[in-house]
Chains A and B, each alone.
Chain A
């Protein structure tokens, strides 16, 4: 969550939404949340667990690519 929040503040184009998985079972099911943290970017790129900044950025860029 830390990196997502910092990226949101750094860029007007980035929004970071923290979702409490237990309170939103429908959303968690829709996004196939099996382990946390699970990160889903633009509903296109997803991964589980923490990533170093460079790899997290790569995922963001992949999700934002044409």
Chain B
């Protein structure tokens, strides 16, 4: 299954000039739950990873690799965890196409550099967060 066009691949390679440190894409699948979507997701992730030697892929099964899923807080498939020098908390549920594909590429670059671009006020406020925060962002491909 080839999901990325030659043009997509070329654009991704250009954007990945910004990569610095290795990134691991941890994919969670479960064929009983969503076989087709999980297969598409795995293909897409492998095609993206093939564009840079700094990106590696690990595929886990939500039902079998339960401890890993729990550690990542992953409860749905298909899922992608974007890990850089550490787990920054970057997650994707669903096959990231269209708008979500751009977000995946951004997340990979961000995890690779570990350098967010936020105002000083935001950075200071986040340092004082009293508890964990989960931000869910629902979107559609178009």
Contacts and interface: CB of A to CB of B under 8 A. Distances in A.
Interface of A: 1-24, 27-28, 31, 33, 36-43, 53-54, 57, 60-61, 63-66
Interface residues of B, number: 46
Contacts of B115: 9
Contacts of B94: 18-20, 22-24
Contact of B118 (A6, A21, A38, A65): A6
B contact face: mostly helix, strand, loop, or mixed: mixed
B134 A41 contact: yes
B139 A20 contact: yes
Interface string B80-116: 0000100011111111100010011011001100111
Contacts of B125: 57, 61
5 contacts: A13-B129, A20-B92, A20-B94, A42-B133, A66-B130
A8 B130 CA distance: 15
Given A16-B135, A19-B137, A37-B137, A9 B92 contact: no
